[in-house]
């Protein structure tokens, strides 16, 4: 069994649906075959996949898991990337990045990418002010609520 086949086995049906929608064409032929055979193993037709996507696009989760804002999978990959976009940013950590950059030292930040549909949840280098998506800030809000609730009891 290939690495991809093992990964696909762990995917839930809806995750396969989003993978097909957003990533299928980026795969090589052998990988496409692995995906197709996983789909037929589960008897997931094109219609069933479309229904799953329609269902999950309107699904709301009230758990505290970090989910992809596009497909709601919890399979989020974390990468350390060199932080180079220091222009126009405010905040102590970012000022340190600017300072380190001037001295030629690289600063690493975490980049979060959905492993199912390739959605980039936060890219420290994407510019703009949206370093953390709503999903991520909701995630931390939930953790904070949990902490404060525990302290109350
Ligand atoms: Zn996703």
Give the integer Cα–Cα distance in Å for 117 and 73: 9
80 and 127 together in one domain: yes
**Is the whole-model pTM more than 0.85?**
no
Structural domain contains residue 32:
yes
Same domain, 42 and 98: no
- With a cut of 80, say whether residue 127 has pLDDT above it: no
- Angular region, 91: left φ>0, alpha ψ -120 to 50, beta rest: left
Nearest-angstrom CA–CA distance, 134 and 119: 14
For residues 119 and 17, what is the distance between their CA atoms, to the nearest angstrom?
14
Q: Is residue 11 part of a domain?
A: yes
Higher-pLDDT residue of 108 and 46 is: 46
Dist. CA 108 → ligand 1 center (Å): 23
**Residue-number span of the structural domain to which 33 is assigned:** 3-57
Same-domain status, 90 and 44:
no
The verdict on residue 62 lying in a domain is no
Number of domains in the chain: 2
Task: Based on the fold, state whether residues 139 and 90 are members of the same structural domain.
Answer: yes
Ligand 1 centroid – CA 73 distance (Å): 6
- Token representation of residue 9: 């086995």
Structure confidence at residue 93 (pLDDT): 60
Ligand 1 center–CA 85 separation, angstroms: 24
User: Are 84 and 128 within one domain?
Assistant: yes
What pLDDT does residue 136 have? 64
Query: What percentage of residues in the chain have a pLDDT greater than 90?
Result: 46
pLDDT at 130: 44
In a domain, 63, yes or no: no
């Amino acid at each position: 069994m290939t690495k991809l086949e093992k990964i696909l086995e762990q995917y839930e049906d809806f995750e396969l649906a989003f993978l097909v929608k957003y990533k299928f064409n980026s795969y090589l032929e052998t990988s496409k075959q692995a995906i197709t055979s996983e789909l037929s193993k589960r008897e997931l037709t094109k219609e069933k996949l479309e229904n799953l996507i329609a269902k999950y696009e309107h699904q709301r989760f009230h758990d505290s898991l970090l989910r992809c804002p596009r497909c709601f999978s919890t399979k989020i990959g974390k990468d350390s990337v060199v932080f180079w976009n220091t222009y126009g940013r405010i905040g102590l950590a970012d000022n340190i990045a600017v300072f380190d950059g001037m001295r030629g030292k690289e600063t690493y930040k975490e980049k979060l990418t959905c492993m199912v549909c390739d959605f980039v949840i936060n890219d420290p280098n994407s510019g703009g002010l949206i370093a953390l998506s709503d999903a991520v800030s909701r995630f931390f809000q939930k953790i904070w609520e949990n902490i404060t609730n525990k302290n109350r009891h």
